[in-house]
Amino acid sequence: MAKQDKDAPKRPTARLPKGMRDIGPAELRQTQAMLDKIRAVYERYGFEPLETPAFEYTDALGKFLPDSDRPNEGVFSFQDEDEQWLSLRYDLTAPLARYVAENFQDMPKPFRRYATGSVFRNEKPGPGRFRQFTQFDADTVGAESVAADAEMCMLAADTLEALGISRGQYVIKVNNRKLLDGLREVISLNGSEHNARWLTVMRALDKFDRLGIDGVKALLGPGRKDESGDFTKGAELDTAAIIAVTSIFAAASNIDEKLAQLGERLGASAVGQEGLAELQTIWSLVSAAGYGDGRVAIDPSVVRGLEYYTGPVFEAELLIPATDEKGNPVRFGSVGGGGRYDDLVARFTGQKVPATGFSIGVSRLQAALNLIGRAPAPTLGPVVVTVMDKDQIASYQKFVQTLREDGIRAELYLGNPKKFGRQLEYADKRGSPVVVIQGSNEREAGQVILKDLVEGAQAAAAIKDNKEWKETRAAQVTVPEAELVSAVREILARHS
């Protein structure tokens, strides 16, 4: 056994960083198809594209995602040559605020932009939870009217439908942070000394869909023990406060009745009544536009960005029942959301600039669409032109070029052509729907053989022995060279 040279450089271990993943061509093409559909909706609403860098000066990102057991408060950071700290963006909104602050005087107002790209979060990874993922945002900056928020709700609904989610299979749920602030007044938890306790109340409300009213009440009171035996400490509200908080979930026959009930619960709270008035305006606008048919709904349990949003907040939720590989029911939760954030640009300028936005969690939505079989169909691989005779490479390359010039994805097999079966295996792994074959006999006759690999695979499953295979030549056709393009297109049309 040869001894390893101790002075030889140590080879690195090929390994992924924790919480990251590689993405193959099939998923990337699927993602691109989704992005194209989302972009078309955003463009239809009049939003313009904007791209900002993947990292910003750390102080420009503002208040980070809270994750106490991660370094750098949930972001990935580094220093540049001037010893200034920079961080990878954790969303697409904080960079937008910086851009608006820099260009405020020159941009049209309101300013409407969309953006997509990877965001990075230095959080503890878990199943299906990665540190890098894709978002697609639309934002309106400089519009005080809640009509801009209503438009975001309609945009969210149209986007989900463009991605193949039918009406009745999703809902855009709307709440208002001012309404929740009014509720805080009602139960006398105002003041910074009660911030931690109020945060516990908000987290309890956010679990209504998953735990139901009894679970929420337990978390508002002394606490709750889950199925595993783990105990979560509650907000320790008294009975009257628990009744006041959970009364927002009271059943109502329609949205108008629900809004009236909320008005009674909020009493004389000025900020609460202001939030309720904004919800009523949003509801009247979406209803007038025809979205009050179940696509958009008022839901006081929606809690988002407690230190971020300042007014209306909304979430896009899928309602499609699904199960995982083991048959267990799956709850998708939110696949997108947003809200009004009137204070973000003011961090830079000192001037309050109204803004509202909606963000699709592309990675999460894509996983959900795959689970329920609604994701875009996989793209067919390229047509593979095989090599039967090495001295005829130029002829085979001409076939490839003919196909490409007609807009057909095609490639010449560039591996070792000695074993023809390996070429078919390669084409199969590439997802090729058809291969082009020409041996000496076909060349003399001015013909090519086209083998339909999709139909061939189906036919092969029914063939019992090698003799039958040779006799049937499953899913194989011989055509004149002049008909190569039209014959290939016919096969592609069958499988597209």
Contact 489, 402 (CB under 8 A): no
| Terminal CA-CA length for the chain | 54
This prediction has a pTM of 0.85
DSSP code per residue over 396-447: HHHHHHHHHHTT--EEE--S-TTSHHHHHHHHHHTT-SEEEE--HHHHHHTE
Residue with tokens 């086209």: 450
Would you say residue 71 has pLDDT above 50? no
How far is the C-alpha of 370 from the C-alpha of 26, rounded, in Å?
12
Contact 404, 59 (CB under 8 A): no
How far is the C-alpha of 379 from the C-alpha of 261, rounded, in Å?
51
At 272-311, the pLDDT tens digits run: 999 999 999 999 999 999 999 999 999 988 888 767 789 9
Residue with tokens 């194989």: 476
- Mention every residue, 6+ apart, whose C-beta is less than 8 A from residue 82: none
DSSP code per residue over 161-192: HHTTPPTTSEEEEEEEHHHHHHHHHHTT--SG
Would you say residue 372 has pLDDT above 70? yes
At 101-151, the pLDDT tens digits run: 999 999 999 999 999 999 999 888 877 789 999 999 999 999 999 999 999
Identify the burial level of 317 via C-beta atoms within 10 angstroms of its C-beta, where 0-12 means exposed, 13-18 middle and 19 or more buried: buried
How far is the C-alpha of 376 from the C-alpha of 29, rounded, in Å?
9
Contact 332, 317 (CB under 8 A): yes
How far is the C-alpha of 126 from the C-alpha of 20, rounded, in Å?
11
In this predicted structure, what is the pLDDT of residue 475?
81
Contact 302, 313 (CB under 8 A): yes
Would you say residue 237 has pLDDT above 90? yes
Contact 122, 71 (CB under 8 A): yes
Quickly state the pLDDT bin for 65 (edges 50, 70, 90).
very low
Identify the burial level of 13 via C-beta atoms within 10 angstroms of its C-beta, where 0-12 means exposed, 13-18 middle and 19 or more buried: exposed
Bridge partners of 435, per DSSP, are 384, 451
- DSSP code, position 473: -
Instruction: For Cα atoms 395, 399, 402, give the angle at the middle one, nearest 5 degrees.
Output: 130
Question: Bigger pLDDT: 284 or 79?
Answer: 284
Region for residue 428 given its phi and psi (left: phi exceeds 0; alpha: psi -120 to 50; beta: otherwise): alpha
In this predicted structure, what is the pLDDT of residue 315?
95
How far is the C-alpha of 363 from the C-alpha of 145, rounded, in Å?
31
137: nearest Cα among 66, 204, 42: 42
In this predicted structure, what is the pLDDT of residue 464?
52
Would you say residue 64 has pLDDT above 70? no
- Mention every residue, 6+ apart, whose C-beta is less than 8 A from residue 345: 97, 100, 101, 104, 141, 351, 352, 353, 355
Query: In the chain, pLDDT over 90 holds for what percent of residues?
Result: 62
At 44-58, the pLDDT tens digits run: 999 999 999 999 998
Q: Which residue segments constitute the domains of the chain, with CATH numbers given?
A: 19-165+320-378 (3.30.930.10), 166-296 (no CATH), 383-495 (3.40.50.800)
At 481-493, the pLDDT tens digits run: 999 999 999 999 9
The distance from CA 167 to its chain's CA centroid, rounded to whole angstroms, is 19
Would you say residue 421 has pLDDT above 60? yes
The identity of residue 134, as a single letter, is: T
Quickly state the pLDDT bin for 465 (edges 50, 70, 90).
low
The identity of residue 127, as a single letter, is: P
The distance from CA 441 to its chain's CA centroid, rounded to whole angstroms, is 52
In this predicted structure, what is the pLDDT of residue 167?
93
In this predicted structure, what is the pLDDT of residue 468?
55
304: nearest Cα among 175, 143, 132, 135: 175
Backbone angles phi, psi at 448, to 5 degrees: -135, 155
Question: If you average pLDDT over every residue of the chain, what do you get?
Answer: 89
Would you say residue 153 has pLDDT above 80? yes
Kind of pairing between the strands at 48-49 and 111-120: parallel
Strand ranges, E, within 94-208: 111-120, 132-141, 170-176
In this predicted structure, what is the pLDDT of residue 69?
43
In this predicted structure, what is the pLDDT of residue 466?
56
In this predicted structure, what is the pLDDT of residue 4?
60
Collapsed DSSP state (helix, strand, coil) of residue 92: coil
CA atoms 169, 207, 238, 224: torsion sign: positive
How far is the C-alpha of 338 from the C-alpha of 139, rounded, in Å?
9
